[in-house]
Amino acid sequence: MKALQFTNDDLHVADVPIPSQDDEVLVRVVLSGICNTDLEISKGYAGFEGTLGHEFVGVVEKAPGRTDLEGKRVVGEINAGCGKCALCRAKDPRHCLSRTVLGIHGRDGAHAEFLSLPAENLLEVPDPVSDQQAVFIEPLAAAYGIYEQVPLANHTRTAIIGDGKLGLLTALSYGATSSSTLLVGKHKEKLAIAEAAGVAVSLLDELDPAIHKTFDVVVEASGSESGFSTALDLVRPRGKIVLKSTFSGEPTWAASRVVVDEITIVGSRCGRFEPALRLLECGKLDLSPLVSDEFRLADGVAAMRRAAEPGVLKVFLRP
């Protein structure tokens, strides 16, 4: 089968064997999405080698011991745990120390004709959710999953910093449930996507100083160093800053502000798929403005180049 791989410092589409793990489910990939993490990996981040990709929708081809799954349209949670530790026994392998992660750590990913995952990672996609929407389930779950650590009620004043894919998904998913959300970004055309969905927006350099220190929760999703100091500007005393983006440098920030204003800083990575699937199923969320392009898997290298262009949002790959 074809697979978009990063090996020996080289990104290429290779012919590789179809996965053949007897204790896992074989999924035929219908559509996969390119994430910034894929771009980072292709620069050598995390030292991953193998098939890239962790956002997909597919159809179960073969499910040993779970024939009920065969032929079902599925998405898959990306962390596969050891199955033995306390976290895995509690059915949440996201922090299992021995986990593998689809297309990110120790496990070939989704930019391929087939992938394999444990049966317990798979969720059936309800009929009303299109393939294009379903591919967004992983980043949407990551965006929406903030509520697990920081509950956001309708009246919680929330600012989201960053108008890239993650910031937009966070704004759209919370904009659907909260009327007090502000998205802050640098790109008028991207902010317009959130604005069209009813979310209040502001350009970063037009932020009204009167709203400094007024937000209960600030979500940093910009992936830039300045995002953190903007978050510190906006959060109220005793408020919370949620760090969503994996900024790879070492940001410098005013630690004394965190102390004096008694601010809580929370890191947040992967969300559960189930609540995000329900959010998609209710049909209130239109993610189509986030789709920039679609390429054939065979043109995966060109697709990655396209995804790295400024202003480009989600790029899909179709095997």
**Residues of this chain that bind Zn ion (CB under 5 A):** 35, 37, 81-82, 85, 88, 96
Considering the complex, state which of residue 96 and residue 150 has its C-beta at the smaller distance from Zn ion: 96
- Cα separation, 72 vs 114, in Å, equals 14
Closest approach of Zn ion to the CB of residue 79, in Å: 9
Considering the complex, state which of residue 46 and residue 211 has its C-beta at the smaller distance from Zn ion: 46
Closest approach of Zn ion to the CB of residue 111, in Å: 12
The H or E element spanning position 100 is strand 100-101
Closest approach of Zn ion to the CB of residue 219, in Å: 16
Closest approach of Zn ion to the CB of residue 86, in Å: 8
Give the count of beta carbons closer than 10 Å to the beta carbon of residue 248.
Answer: 10
Closest approach of Zn ion to the CB of residue 35, in Å: 3
Closest approach of Zn ion to the CB of residue 154, in Å: 28
Considering the complex, state which of residue 84 and residue 188 has its C-beta at the smaller distance from Zn ion: 84
Considering the complex, state which of residue 39 and residue 211 has its C-beta at the smaller distance from Zn ion: 39
- For residue 159, the cross-strand partners are 182, 218
The H or E element spanning position 88 is helix 86-89
φ/ψ of residue 99, rounded to 5: -70, 155
In this structure, the chain runs to a length of 319
The H or E element spanning position 313 is none
Considering the complex, state which of residue 2 and residue 54 has its C-beta at the smaller distance from Zn ion: 54
Closest approach of Zn ion to the CB of residue 88, in Å: 3
Considering the complex, state which of residue 98 and residue 264 has its C-beta at the smaller distance from Zn ion: 98
DSSP secondary structure code for residue 102 in this structure: T
DSSP 8-75: TTEEEEEE-PPP--TTSEEEEEEEEEE-HHHHHHTTTGGG--EE---EEEEEEEE-TT-GGGTT-EEE
Q: Between 165-175 and 188-196, two packed helices, what is the crossing angle to 10 degrees?
A: 20
Considering the complex, state which of residue 138 and residue 216 has its C-beta at the smaller distance from Zn ion: 138
Q: Is the dihedral of CA 225, 173, 178, 273 positive or negative?
A: negative
